[in-house]
Amino acid sequence: MELIEILEALNQTHGPSGDEGGVREKIEELARPFADEIVTDTLGNLIVHKKGAGPWMMLAAHMDSIGFIVTHIEKEGFLRVGRLGGISPKEAAYAPVRFKNGVQGVFVPEEKADFSKLKLDECFIDIGAANEAEAKTLVQVGDTCVYDGPVRVRGSRVTAPYLDDRLACAVLLCALEQIKEPAYNLSLVFTVQEEVGLRGARTAAWWVDPDICVAVDVTDVDDTPGSEKNGTARLGGGAAIKVMDSSVICHPQVVAKLEEIAKSQSIPIQRDIMRSGGTDAGAIQNAHYGVKTGGISIPCRYVHTPAETADLEDARACVRLAAALIQAEAPCP
Ligand code: CO
Ligand code: ZN
């Protein structure tokens, strides 16, 4: 399947942190023809195994997304919500949202709220219910909702609510499709609950017990007006090889191996340092007695907004890099 078709399929699924069943089912369906074995672990991580001769390699991408969870239903039928992961009320203002059962709504700040310091408590979700009783026929406390928006493509640029991290899930699925002879025992892990603290990756790394791991995620860029210089990557600059983020300092052998493979295959790359925000790599490197861990990053603008934007050529470079890594000889001396 084409990268963009996979992304579109994943974008339609439900999968906020802790409620990843919908996205997991779709990924499992797409991976099935190319996998030797697929298991879902206790927390809900999807582990796709492909047999190979060498040491054990884990490639991880989180399948959960940020979202909201209903905490109160008001007399007038409006919903109050808590946050799942780093979702900002200012960035979410007036965004359409959808629940797992298909109910749609819009996230709205109160009229009198100070927009510059907007708090989640000053916002509500309007699902069109006339009152509390009607709202309760549609949703209940504990239900989760996510941004509801299409995948838009213009040239090589793509905009969609959950490129973080569905684009990386699509990258891993494309790489899986391409590999003929893995040089490793390969586990592709689609993790849960990354956005609430790398929780799924932590247990998945114990389950898989890999010799080497590469986590694939989006990374902040530093290429827009007024950029805060939080990231080093740029859209269209190629696959970004993670050196560091606030959760991990990548193993130098993994960084070097990725750079060497990219050079030998003429894959465009750039270095990635994200000064705030972590990734699954941070949890995985601390499993067992430690795992040699690195990261492949897809440069992404406006991360955690309803309009995350990336370059498909960068994502395709990530597919090539991941596929080449899986088929290269073992990087662990
Ligand atoms: Co994220
Ligand atoms: Zn992410």
Ligand nearest to the CA of 279: 2
Active-site position among 37, 76, 177, 194: 194
Average pLDDT over every residue of 40-63: 96
Average pLDDT over every residue of 138-158: 98
- Render pLDDT for 165-222 as a digit per residue (tens, 0 to 9): 999 999 999 999 999 889 899 999 999 999 999 999 999 999 999 999 999 999 999 9
pLDDT for 227? 87
pTM: 0.97
CA-nearest of 147, 93, 98 to 122 is 93
CA-nearest of 220, 217, 242, 233 to 294 is 242
Average pLDDT over every residue of 30-49: 98
Give the distance (Å) from ligand 1 centre to CA of residue 177.
Answer: 25
pLDDT for 331? 57
- Render pLDDT for 290-329 as a digit per residue (tens, 0 to 9): 999 999 999 999 999 999 999 999 999 999 999 999 998 7
pLDDT for 165? 97
pLDDT for 77? 98
Give the distance (Å) from ligand 2 centre to CA of residue 76.
Answer: 36
| Percentage with pLDDT > 90 across the chain | 94
pLDDT band, very low/low/confident/very high, at 113 (cuts 50, 70, 90)? very high
- Render pLDDT for 229-253 as a digit per residue (tens, 0 to 9): 888 999 999 999 999 999 999 999 9
Give the distance (Å) from ligand 2 centre to CA of residue 316.
Answer: 18
- Nearest-angstrom CA–CA distance, 59 and 299: 18
What's the whole-number average pLDDT of the chain?
96
Does 194 participate in catalysis according to the annotation? yes
Residue 332 confidence (pLDDT) above 80? no
- Nearest-angstrom CA–CA distance, 48 and 169: 12
pLDDT for 330? 63
Give the distance (Å) from ligand 1 centre to CA of residue 300.
Answer: 11
